[in-house]
Amino acid sequence: MKAILTIIAIIFFGTLATAQDFSKEVKVETTTVGVELNIEIQETQKETEVARLYMFKNSRVKKALSFRTKRNKSKLA
């Protein structure tokens, strides 16, 4: 019972203490500055390129890795 009354008293006095704080709102002076944007737009030329379509993923890599040399060929005994 004593603990409950102590907690209630602490909450009561805490709210009274915060209610007594009176702070005025300070108005801030604002300044406005004009902004200039100098943007140059560059027109790009369209380049037509031929694109190769492969049926399988990584076909360039597989083709490059599957190269054969003369020494790779099997020899007949």
pTM of the model: 0.28
Q: Residue ranges per domain, the chain?
A: 1-66
Q: What is the pLDDT of residues 17-67, one digit of tens each?
A: 877 666 677 788 889 988 888 888 888 887 777 777 667 777 778 888 887
Q: Which amino acid is at 7?
A: I
Provide DSSP, 6-74. Answer: HHHHHHHHHHHHHHH---PPPPPP----------PPPPPPP---PPP--SSTTHHHHHHHT---GGGS-
| Contact yes or no for 54/60 (Cβ under 8 A) | yes
Task: Give residue for tokens 């390129």.
Answer: 49
